[in-house]
């Protein structure tokens, strides 16, 4: 069977028993950002979904709602998703900028298409016997925060900011309570600089300016109130191996928990190249173990293995083979835990 992949995402979701005798969750997202279609030949003809079920490994993809709604590529987009995947994550449709239009004004059109707009209704996800992962409730970067909030920032007090955050998270999470098993509650809150003088090196953003580090505590508390059964995650890049940012993430989560926040796990974003090596016991394994030792589930929420290209084609064709080996080493990494 030939599978054509164009600017798409696949991920593996694996459940294992941790050293604490509880379920650990690991999700791999494989990003293929190519400007032309790459043809990949597979040996099975039953589809990845059936194959992954037989292996006990749920499999999924990122989706664009407009592509589903418009049945692009003569319906092949929808068909391939139904045939190959069990889990989906909207690329942007559940992010604050897509939903939060103004105070108490929300755009739930795409979310309702996927999940249904009432507790008893169903959407595309349930109708196709899939599950959905929510991404995200708070993105701690100004360029990802709804523009109307930034425009009104001078007039918004700290108390008002807390009230707005509560209203938004309760509105979104409550609407889809029981339909979204996992939420990225806060996304990318830690700055890339070594020391910006903020607690835990948190980046400057609207939410930090209004509420300080407490904005994260409130976000997790509000999300748990809205759906006590949802698994809540902090999602971050640059923490897939041991180092300062990983340590700061652990310190941040410990503090949040001490303040009463419920945090079930951490999302690890992997943005690497074909020169990256992943071997048992290395910095990547040690980083994962640090999170597990802190009683956190792990999701490898984003994984892209970049290949140098020219005009959309690999400069060195051998890199495609190397890329496959890196993905295989990531699978070994997941299975290890």
Structural tokens at position 213: 């580090």
Give which of 104, 106, 183, 186 is closest to 138, Cα–Cα: 186
Q: How far is CA 257 from its chain centroid?
A: 21
Which pTM does this prediction carry?
A: 0.86
Instruction: Give residue-wise pLDDT tens across range 154-179.
Output: 999 999 999 999 999 999 999 999 99
* Average pLDDT of the chain to the nearest whole number: 87
Pair 141, 192: CB distance under 8 Å = no
Confidence band for 61, pLDDT divided at 50, 70 and 90: confident
Q: Between 320 and 18, whose confidence is greater? A: 320
Mean pLDDT computed over 277-299: 97
Query: What's the CA gap between 317 and 308, in Å, rounded?
Result: 10
Which range, of 205-219, 251-265, 283-297, 300-314, averages the lowest pLDDT? 300-314
Going by the DSSP 8-state scheme, the letter that residue 181 receives in this structure is S
Check if 188 is active-site. yes
Q: Select which of 76, 79, 188, 251 is catalytic.
A: 188
Above 80 in pLDDT, residue 19? no
Instruction: Give residue-wise pLDDT tens across range 96-141.
Output: 999 999 999 999 999 999 999 998 999 999 999 999 999 999 999 9
Check if 302 is active-site. yes
Q: What angle do CA 263, 267, 271 make, to 5 degrees?
A: 160
Q: Select which of 93, 236, 240, 302 is catalytic.
A: 302
Give which of 75, 76, 10, 23 is closest to 49, Cα–Cα: 10
């Amino acid at each position: 069977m030939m599978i054509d992949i164009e600017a798409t995402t696949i991920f593996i979701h694996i459940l294992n028993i941790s050293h604490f005798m509880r379920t650990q969750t690991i999700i791999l997202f494989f990003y293929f950002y190519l400007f032309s279609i790459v043809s990949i030949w597979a040996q099975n003809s039953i589809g990845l979904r059936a194959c992954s079920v037989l292996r006990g490994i749920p499999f999924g993809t990122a989706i664009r709602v407009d592509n589903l709604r418009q049945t692009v590529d003569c319906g092949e987009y929808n068909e391939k998703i139904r045939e190959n995947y069990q889990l989906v994550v909207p690329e942007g449709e559940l992010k604050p900028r897509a939903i939060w239009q103004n105070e108490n004004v929300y755009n739930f059109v795409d979310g309702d298409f996927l999940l249904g707009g009432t507790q008893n209704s169903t959407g595309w996800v349930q109708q196709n016997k899939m599950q959905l992962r929510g991404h995200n409730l708070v993105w701690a970067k100004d360029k990802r925060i709804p523009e109307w909030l930034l425009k009104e920032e001078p007039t918004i007090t700290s108390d008002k900011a807390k009230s707005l955050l509560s209203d938004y998270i309760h509105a979104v999470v409550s609407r889809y309570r029981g339909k979204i098993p996992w939420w990225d509650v806060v996304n990318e809150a830690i700055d890339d600089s070594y020391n910006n003088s903020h607690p835990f090196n948190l980046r400057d953003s609207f939410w930090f300016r209004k509420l300080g580090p407490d904005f994260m505590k409130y976000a997790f508390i509000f999300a748990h109130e809205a759906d006590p059964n949802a698994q809540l995650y902090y999602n971050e890049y640059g923490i897939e191996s041991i180092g300062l940012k990983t340590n700061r993430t652990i310190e941040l989560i410990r503090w949040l928990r001490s303040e009463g926040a419920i945090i079930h796990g951490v999302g690890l974003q992997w943005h690497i190249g074909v020169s990256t090596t992943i071997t048992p016991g290395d910095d990547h394994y040690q980083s994962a173990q640090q999170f597990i030792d802190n009683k956190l589930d792990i999701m490898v929420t984003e994984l892209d293995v970049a290949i140098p290209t020219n005009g959309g084609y690999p400069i060195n064709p051998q890199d495609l083979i190397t890329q496959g080996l890196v993905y295989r080493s990531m699978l070994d990494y997941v299975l290890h835990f």
